[in-house]
Structure 1
């Protein structure tokens, strides 16, 4: 992703097509808008008086083509639909079936990719006053529906690093940044604090959308805020070869390969060879071993089977492929001072939480799927424990070296 998606989050839009084509969205180089689906004058009450009101609840879908609705508009569930209101009348009005269901049913009809619903606001319930616990309660009630995602509202006061990391383990799809979060730099333009910049760098690692909300507080209206977010994104470290190779596999569950049971294609082994770190370490180890050979002796290097296959035997945790010590028979052909590479390897285990991966396994609707080992390059996760080191595995028959 060469650029990020930056849009505007607003509570009211008078003329949506004009705003997108000739208005602030186009002029300020934004990608889209998040706006209420229903006009506030069509607020429904619990006394059925509003049911007789003439006119549609929302603007016509014909004001724009379907591509504009799909690519540029995210629907906001109106803020006046307050399910947690303190007053009974307001709560009953919000709970009325037509109020909460109508916009949610209307949203997919328009082809919107998402709809944003406001967070709960329950000051009396201590558990639900924690945003993450409120989110966890909501998704549990929705049976962990895979289409339920998180839009983070970035505030001036950020929570602890641990709490931020917990959110990064959730299916975050959007971040809403208020203009009052931005500071003013020496040139009079908006800028974020160092902690906020660190958070943005973490969010950039996930393919999410960013929305600006609130009135502009700097010259140039909303454009300087958009330019600043793109500037932060451009400051990201460029991806090395390893990162580029891993990009398609991030947070993607894969069944472990079985090279001794299945005849793998050469393309698969070419993929193995992209692991530059492993190959570099083997090269260093072989060089070190050869340097230890006395000058008056001849070095003999034995490769058991094709090199790529031998290296692939050092599998993931749980020996899903095979391990070097399983080549026990080959050790009989080595000299007394023979060298085994690697001399030792250790597995580590730690509990993690990843809503995305859990939902992927949940699709199979089988307990076996939850107890099956997978190979995955994790990024969208929360590590909830330490990294205990398991028993190292050594070779015992021949001399060992790093």
Structure 2
């Protein structure tokens, strides 16, 4: 059971210790309670403001064991407070009382304070919350409570001149975040879930926001055939989606069930448990990595660790697909050999690779080069494909990582001892021309964006050792990109500004691509193809050179709804051989494959977009003699700077 999943909203109390004990005895993990007594008179004089007493009379909030229980409370700001009320007296009184309540919450060391929004424009509230957050020493998380949706375009008649398209609670929240600037990082959302659910597009948009908690009234529960309260199927589905964001639940309202309020938390915890029992392999293997910014790997420049190899080797789908591709390629080569043959005498069994010799060649073995072999999983896949196809092979294992070479040599001396497998230490781009040429290249040099780990440069550099009619696995790969909304990713990148140093490649966090297991996000349009690379290259690059792999594209997207554009998410499709492919494209992601997460290109400044508005992205892949890097910019709906110009923020070493 989730240890802190479900809380209970209670009425005013003067004894929080007793209230907490009662709530915990019913199985709830935390308590929501008013900070101060409610006033029946919203227009208050200064004397009345000073006379207001906290609902919590004592600041001694400890359990019987002496531990502080302040962290298990959510303090609710008085509902009458309206810092942006048209009435000046109410506005002034609200400001004074809000500060009084916030300071009291900080004094109690409460971790969370909840305040409701009731309209689109809240500049005064934003100013007060910003000032409090900046000046308060102890961090307090502020939950902004809004309904998930409204039944009418204009609640309570709305504000005069207000655009109906901007009257939704999401617009209220978004404007508050913009007004609060960087201090909005301390904000979370408390979404009030009603009996009537909004459209899928509204739900999807909320799923891209930092929803800390869902508020459920006991009124929206139904009774099942056994008389227990349950949620409708659609409501259950919504909760399961927000569980993935680690959103908590707080229950409020009257209880008419004979077993009391306990049954509600039992049911919600059961929903959470069943949702976690049905996780996909992708979800299981990425647990704990959701929405974390990771610097992309640079395996050409750096040597991967054993742990990294181990994670990748757990992806059974990828290796099964590669084995099938090698198998089909071997069958194709048997039908259309067109290759030079060699005798076994020319290649005595050696640990390291033999060199080409002069003489007559008559064997029908297919020559496979494993380029960037790591610890050898593709060698095993190639040998298995050879056995399945009945086509004998000679395998050259190319690897530059000195640590991985130790593992490969061990495998050569043990499990591959009697196989025609040979080790070629070194960089694949600089292999000796004395090696015999390959019938098949097998490589897995793909990054989250397809080409971002320099697969084009690596394979082009080795192409002089591939026969003219040789096969490359993969034969091609295409990167895809889509506009992204994710306030959490934007805030995480902004926070990285404080940790940049000479010890990291990341110098401008909001201009750096990141590998991210996206969870708290939405795409604003379908991904579009960006760059395609095909192997072997038809223009036959000169040995040792990268060739011209620079690219440029302009892509136009259409916003599916009002949103905030925070960047772009990158994916790829790779054709291994024939119809066998690997894909991270969200519409046809290879089932259960988890080797790659999307690559996120952030924008330095969030961009508001309207439904149907065009988003025009310009994307460059730049190549120099020493580095490869991406640059990107918008020209619609606004024009932005060129991000990562000249690779000033981040570049990939050749």
What TM-score results when the alignment is normalised by the length of structure 2?
A: 0.56
Question: Where do residues 1-400 of structure 1 align in structure 2 (5 Å cutoff)?
Answer: 2=2, 5-21=5-21, 23=22, 25-40=23-38, 46-50=44-48, 53=51, 58-65=56-63, 67-83=67-83, 85=85, 89-95=89-95, 97=96, 99-121=97-119, 123-124=158-159, 126-127=162-163, 129-145=167-183, 146-236=185-275, 237-294=277-334, 297-307=364-374, 311=443, 313-317=445-449, 319-324=451-456, 326-363=458-495, 364=497, 368-396=508-536
Task: Provide the secondary structure at the position in 2 that maps to 1:71.
Answer: helix
Q: What displacement does 1:100 show?
A: 0.8
In 1, distance between residues paired with 2:281 and 2:67? 35
Q: Is the 8 A contact 1:44 1:51 kept in 2?
A: no
Q: What displacement does 1:374 show?
A: 1.1
Q: What displacement does 1:87 show?
A: 5.5
Q: 1:384 to 1:51 in 2, by over 3 A?
A: closer
Task: Provide the secondary structure at the position in 1 that maps to 2:12.
Answer: coil
Q: 1:54 to 1:108 in 2, by over 3 A?
A: closer
Q: What displacement does 1:359 show?
A: 0.8
Q: Please, which runs of 5 or more residues in structure 2 have no aligned partner?
A: 121-157, 336-362, 376-398, 400-441, 501-506, 539-575, 581-654
Task: Provide the secondary structure at the position in 2 that maps to 1:177.
Answer: strand
Instruction: Give CA deviations for 1:31-88 in whole Å, capped at 9, x if unaligned.
Output: 1111111123698854222256396674221142584433321111111223355655
Q: What displacement does 1:340 show?
A: 1.1
Q: What displacement does 1:9 show?
A: 1.5
In 1, distance between residues paired with 2:314 and 2:107? 45
Q: Is the 8 A contact 1:4 1:230 kept in 2?
A: no
In 1, distance between residues paired with 2:255 and 2:55? 30
Q: 1:215 to 1:56 in 2, by over 3 A?
A: closer
Task: Provide the secondary structure at the position in 1 that maps to 2:286.
Answer: helix
Q: Is the 8 A contact 2:446 2:455 kept in 1?
A: yes
Task: Provide the secondary structure at the position in 1 that maps to 2:514.
Answer: coil
Q: 1:90 to 1:5 in 2, by over 3 A?
A: same
Instruction: Give CA deviations for 1:143-194 in whole Å, capped at 9, x if unaligned.
Output: 1421111111101111111111111111111110011111121222111112
Q: 1:305 to 1:197 in 2, by over 3 A?
A: closer
Q: Which segment drifts farther, 226-235 or 203-212?
A: 226-235
Q: 1:43 to 1:208 in 2, by over 3 A?
A: farther
What TM-score results when the alignment is normalised by the length of structure 1?
A: 0.88
Partner of 2:602: none
Q: Is the 8 A contact 1:314 1:324 kept in 2?
A: no
Q: Is the 8 A contact 1:179 1:216 kept in 2?
A: yes
Q: Please, which runs of 5 or more residues in structure 1 have no aligned partner?
A: none
In 2, distance between residues paired with 1:92 and 1:303? 73
Instruction: Give CA deviations for 1:270-290 in whole Å, capped at 9, x if unaligned.
Output: 333344433332222122223
CA radius of gyration, larger in = 2
Q: Is the 8 A contact 2:32 2:73 kept in 1?
A: yes
Q: Is the 8 A contact 1:43 1:50 kept in 2?
A: no
In 2, distance between residues paired with 1:219 and 1:46? 41
Higher strand share: 2
Instruction: Give CA deviations for 1:325-354 in whole Å, capped at 9, x if unaligned.
Output: 632243333344432111121111001011
In 1, distance between residues paired with 2:50 and 2:481? 62
In 1, distance between residues paired with 2:28 and 2:494? 36
Q: Is the 8 A contact 1:151 1:173 kept in 2?
A: yes
Q: 1:159 to 1:341 in 2, by over 3 A?
A: same
Q: 1:203 to 1:170 in 2, by over 3 A?
A: same
Task: Provide the secondary structure at the position in 2 that maps to 1:233.
Answer: helix
- Corresponding residue pairs, total: 398
Task: Provide the secondary structure at the position in 2 that maps to 1:279.
Answer: helix
Partner of 2:355: none
In 1, distance between residues paired with 2:457 and 2:194? 54
In 1, distance between residues paired with 2:41 and 2:29? 29
RMSD over aligned Cα atoms? 3.0
Q: Is the 8 A contact 2:15 2:56 kept in 1?
A: no
Q: What displacement does 1:140 show?
A: 1.3
Q: Which has the higher contact order (CA 8 A, sep 6+)?
A: 1
Q: Is the 8 A contact 1:184 1:190 kept in 2?
A: yes
